[in-house]
Amino acid sequence: MTEIDLDLSRYQLGWHDDVDYVFKPRRGLDEAIVREMSGMKGEPEWMLKRRLKSLRAFEKRPMPNWGGDMSEIYFDDIYYYIKPTDHQVDEWDDLPDAIKNTYEKLGIPEAERKYLAGVTAQFESEVVFHRNREDLEQLGIIFCDMDTALREYPELVKQYFGTVIPLNDNKFSALNSAVWSGGSFIYVPKGVKVDMPLQAYFRINTQNMGQFERTLIIADEGSEVHYIEGCSAPVYTSDSLHSAVVEIVIKPSARVTYTTIQNWSNNVFNLVTKRARVEAEGHMEWIDGNIGSRLTMKYPGCTLVGPKASGEVLSVAYAGPGQHQDTGAKMVHAAPETTSKVVSKSISKDGGRTSYRGLVHVDDGAYGCKSHVQCDALILDDDSVSDTYPYMEVGSKDAVIGHEATVSKIADEQLFYLQSRGLSEEQAMSMVVNGFIEPITRTLPMEYAVEWSRLIELQMEGSVG
Amino acid sequence: MFSTLTLPSPDAALPPVPDWLASCRADALRRLHDAAPPNSAAEEWRYSDVDDVELESVAFGAGPGPSVRVEGPALDGVTVGAASEFDGPAADSVAQALASTLDDGDPISLVSLVGLSDPLVIDVAPGRTVAEPIRVTIPVGDGIGAHTAAVVVRAGANSDVEVVVSSDGDDVESLEIVRIVVDVASAARVRIAEVCNVGSRVRRISSVVGRVERDASLSIAHAALGGAATRTRFDARLVGRGASGDLRAVYLGTGDQRHDLRTFQRHEAPDTSSNLVFKGALDGRSRAVYTGLIHVGHDARGTNATQSNRIIKLSDDTWAESVPNLEIHHNDVRCAHASAVGPIDEDQRFYLESRGVPPEVAERLVVAGFFEEVLGAFDRSGEGAALRSTVNERLGAGA
């Protein structure tokens, strides 16, 4: 038996750059902090009011009594707002060296320069590096960070902000609405199709610093856009909180794909609210990969409000030692002939726990709806745990709603076959696991798919025992 | 159902029963006072109607003697008697069987013991195969308050027995709380067939709790047809290596009926297997909730478990919720669940109609075929035919 103790976050991304922060307010959260934050950002009055209202909602709401163990989130021990540099920069070369180094280690420059479109790299709470491709601007696409959007397109932001996820939707969306900072804003005009995916990298880089980015994507009629969000964070000893809110507005016949690769270090609580509002014949696709964090609770949702709207969630979760991935999907069919599909694959190993938690709701009178949910779980050893909690609420008569789930270990026959072809047991396991999640990997852009397969391979090292 | 629950105080005078039974009840009552009241905000009660059942008038049984009847002649190797007739170690073991199945998270299980007058105990001697099913009838209360009844079935090692439980009585407004506790010793085989076809004004809360030891098997078949509202809980605890459990149920909702079904398949030992097949058809304005859990413990290597709940919706005003859950703590398992909610298959309907079958009959035929997988389990005890015609009649009567 070979035990190679490999922890990915330590193995590959376990560095920590020292960055001088311009402003570092105290820990904890109260009205003064929110006012100070809003004032420093020079926000309009309505946003400040909203933040304060959200803060009250956050304070009032109890902690959720379901999902993972959140007893070690100490809200008073978190920095709610940090500004990494004193102003935003337009050129890559203008970035402080320490920040650039961090990105170098993530391999961003090569990947981006070769393949990718506009870059919004989120370092700490605010976007420090941001470059719009000229042709995006020519098409009328707005792609900037949320704070900039609030300054430059206040009307647009005011019209849509908080319309998909109300500020008091849940405790963590209320928290985010009170202290949000950074995140992306995208507006795609009518009929415009963006060929290249837009992407942003996120990174938490201060001990006990919560990151509360806020993303709003508006896809106007008949438009198409693919947004990619990738996360990685260095390892720290004390716990961090990441609580983002992502709202997507899909106008009739528009299509949005939102891809997330989440690889927070194993001390981060990742409690994220993501939801799309899909109008007639629109389509939303969430592709969600969760490999890092201590606890992730994330249930990307689609509220299908227009006839023939459709939603899809493809998710992969990997839970290693000490990790709990509580992920799933939420599909609300509020209009006739809407369809949804959820495919969830999870792998738990070395005491990790994966949970699928999902809801399919069909309103009374939403005739002709179809939904299918499929959850497959692999448990790689005796210590690991897998749960499935699907909820189905069906009001209309002719809705066709299905759910199926299987939980198993890797079949001995598969391992035997591969080993008889000369692969080591470890290689064989890694290959089976990669095959298991292939339906989702193949939907990723090429370089993400490669990175994802590699991450899985790394996690699988030392799995034979 | 229990928002207005008021309980007797722990030292309230209860009807005379043997001390051990009284202390069993007092214990349950204390726990009930400590337990959180049912609340629709809690996950356990999320989909249940917890607003319109009043328990302040739980009828605490009139005294010794089971409120449950057993039909048929005495059988060799089978002892049937009221729990109050037991004393010494025999009484202790009954008390233990009753207490071991309580769940503080489920106040109903506690209420069922608090209000219990005198359980009926059926003991089957080890090695004994009982050829004829034992028929138990639970009379529906007289309409005054809630009415509780319990049956304890204990099958000795390597015995074989079938118990048919049915509820019987007038259609009066009443609340029935029924608890069936089954202890299956090693290599024994027990089948419980429960037919719930009470009147349309009866509300019924029942649970069937089974503990299955090494190489033993427990099959439960349940038909929820009548009643204004039913909540039925099934627990199959597989505690011995090689134990198996089979849970089947049909539920038919018409009018304003509500069916609430809750299942637990607990695998606590290696090489255990369980299979669950639930089928429901909803017509009128009926509602159904299914919540199930397969739990595979750390020691349950080689578990094989399946769980499937399927619902046909016959009318637009029905509402169905299905929550089939899995919690798996071991990797060497095979576990699958499936759940589906949908209308009658159009192809099947078309086929029948093209053969000249009138639409409403076609619908009934499809439902009958859909239910057959479960109703077949009632044939052995001879209940099948009656159930089929009941289903047919109720569907024919329309919503």
- How far does the CA of residue B174 sit from the closest CA of chain A (Å)? 29
Q: Which of residues 366-385 of A touch B (CB under 8 A)?
A: 377, 379-382, 384-385
Q: Which of B313, B319, B330 sits opposite A382 (nearest CB)?
A: B330
Question: A387 touching B, CB under 8 A?
Answer: yes
Assign B16 a pLDDT band (cuts: 50, 70, 90): low
C-alpha radius of gyration, chain A, whole number:
22
- Over 70: is that where the pLDDT of A167 sits? yes
Closest-CA residue in chain A for B312?
A397
Q: pLDDT higher for A110 or A377? A: A377
Indicate if the pLDDT at residue B51 is higher than 60: no
Which residues of chain A does B270 touch, with a Cβ-Cβ cutoff of 8 Å?
none
Look at A407 and B322 and tell me if their CB atoms are within 8 Å: no
For chain B, percent of residues with pLDDT exceeding 70: 85
Of A299-308, A420-429, B383-392, the range with the highest mean pLDDT is A299-308
Q: Is any Cβ of chain A less than 8 angstroms from the Cβ of B345? A: no
Which residues on B lie below 8 Å from A390 (Cβ)?
322-325, 339
What is the pLDDT at residue A228? 84
- Specify the pLDDT at position A123: 45
Highest average pLDDT, of A274-288, A386-400, B131-145, B147-161, comes from A274-288
Query: How would you classify the pairing of strands A301-304 and A283-290?
Result: unpaired
Summarize the confidence of residues B6-12 as an average pLDDT. Answer: 45
Q: Mind listing the pLDDT tens digit for each residue in B111-130?
A: 777 766 678 889 999 999 99
Average pLDDT, chain B: 84
Per the CB < 8 Å rule, is B321 touching A377? Answer: no
* φ/ψ (deg, to 5) at A118: -60, 150
Q: How confident is the model at residue B221 (pLDDT cuts 50, 70, 90)?
A: very high
- The upper half-sphere exposure of residue A238, i.e. CA atoms within 13 Å in the direction of its Cβ, equals 11
**pLDDT tens-digit readout, B248-270:** 999 999 999 999 999 999 999 99
Closest CA in chain A for residue B332: A409
Rounded distance, CA B67 to CA B169, Å?
13
- Count CB atoms within 10 A of the CB of residue B162: 19
Q: Of B319, B331, B336, which has the smallest distance from its Cβ to A405's Cβ? A: B336
Band of pLDDT at residue A16, cut at 50, 70 and 90? low
pLDDT attached to residue B172: 80
User: Which of B326, B333, B334 lies at the smallest CB-CB distance from A388?
Assistant: B326
Any CB–CB contact under 8 A between A400 and chain B?
yes
Report CB contact under 8 Å: B328, A382: no
List for chain B the helix, strand, coil content (%; round to 5): 20, 40, 40
What is the token pair recorded at B378? 């009632």
Q: State the pLDDT at residue A10.
A: 39
Judged by a CB distance cut-off of 8 A, whether residue B285 touches chain A is: no
What does the pLDDT read at residue A252? 97
Closest approach of A363 to chain B, Cα-based (Å): 10
Query: What average pLDDT does the segment B147-156 reach?
Result: 88
Query: Per the CB < 8 Å rule, is B319 touching A385?
Result: no
pLDDT of A360 reads 95
Q: Using an 8 Å CB-CB cutoff, list chain A residues near B303.
A: none
B341 and A401 in contact by Cβ < 8 A? yes
B332 contacts on A by Cβ (under 8 Å) = 382, 409
SS3 content of chain A, % helix, strand, coil (to 5): 25, 35, 40
Tokens of B335: 């576990």
How far apart CA A8 and CA A458 sit, in angstroms, is 7
Nearest-CA residue of chain A relative to B339? A403
- Terminal alpha carbon distance of chain A: 5
Cβ of A403 within 8 Å of Cβ of B320? The answer is no
Rounded-to-integer distance, Cα A305 and Cα A280, Å: 7
Q: Of B306, B318, B319, B331, which to mutate for an interface test with A (greatest number of A Cβ within 10 Å)?
A: B331
Q: Are A397 and B334 a contacting pair at CB < 8 A?
A: no
CA–CA gap between residue A100 and residue A94 (Å, rounded) = 9
Between residues A462 and A75, which one has the greater pLDDT?
Answer: A75
Q: Do B181 and B153 meet the contact criterion of CB atoms below 8 Å apart?
A: yes
- In chain A, which residues have their Cβ closer than 8 Å to the Cβ of B340? 400-403
Provide the pLDDT for residue B5.
Answer: 39
Tell me the C-alpha distance between B60 and A1, whole Å. Answer: 63
C-alpha–C-alpha distance, residues B33 and B324, integer Å: 30
pLDDT of residue B10: 43
Cα A383–Cα B309–Cα A309 angle in degrees, nearest 5: 95
Question: Could you give the angle at which helices A108-115 and A446-460 cross, rounded to 10 degrees?
Answer: 150
Per-residue pLDDT averaged across B205-216, rounded? 93
Mean pLDDT to the nearest integer, B347-371: 92
| Stretch B191-220: mean pLDDT | 91
Instruction: Collect all residues of chain B within an 8 Å Cβ-Cβ radius of residue A395.
Output: 319
* pLDDT tens by residue, A280-303: 999 999 999 888 889 999 999 999
Structure tokens at B294: 């397969």
The answer to whether A404 contacts B337, with C-beta atoms less than 8 Å apart, is yes
Measured in angstroms, the CA of B378 and the nearest CA of chain A are apart by 28
| pLDDT for res B55 | 54
Instruction: Choose among A385, A393, A404: nearest Cβ to B321.
Output: A393
Please say if the pLDDT value at position B67 is more than 60: yes
Q: What is the pLDDT of residues A29-51, one digit of tens each?
A: 889 889 988 988 889 999 999 99
Tell me which chain B residues have a C-beta less than 8 angstroms from the C-beta of A402.
Answer: 338-340, 342
User: What are the chain B neighbours of A384 within 8 Å (beta carbons)?
Assistant: 331
Predicted pLDDT at A27: 78
> Measured between beta carbons, which residues in chain A are less than 8 angstroms from residue B329?
385
ipTM of the complex: 0.79
- Chain B residues in contact with A386 by the CB 8 A cut-off are 326-328
Sequence-separated contacts (24+) of B79-82 with Cβ below 8 Å? B79/B121, B79/B122, B79/B123, B79/B125, B80/B120, B80/B121, B80/B122, B80/B123, B80/B134, B81/B120, B81/B121, B82/B118, B82/B119, B82/B120, B82/B121
pLDDT digits (tens, 9 = 90+) for A83-131: 554 444 455 565 556 555 555 555 544 444 333 333 344 444 444 444 5
Q: At what angle do helices B107-114 and B19-34 cross, to 10 degrees?
A: 150
Q: Pick from B313, B314, B328: which is nearest to A407 by CB?
A: B328
Tokens of A92: 């890559």
Confidence of residue B4 (pLDDT cuts 50, 70, 90): very low
Query: How many angstroms separate the CA atoms of A76 and A26, rounded?
Result: 10
Gap between the Cα atoms of A272 and B124, Å rounded? 56
- On the question of pLDDT at A143 being above 80, the answer is yes
Q: Does residue B319 sit at the A interface (CB-CB below 8 Å)?
A: yes
A351/chain B closest Cα distance in angstroms: 9
Q: B284-320: per-residue pLDDT in tens?
A: 999 999 999 999 999 999 999 999 999 999 998 999 9
How far does the CA of residue B289 sit from the closest CA of chain A (Å)?
9
The Cα–Cα gap between A231 and A251 comes to 28
| Burial (0-12, 13-18, 19+ Cβ within 10 Å), A39 | exposed
B181 strand-pairing partners: B152, B209
The per-residue pLDDT for A118 is 33
Question: How many angstroms away from the CA of A372 is the closest CA of chain B?
Answer: 9
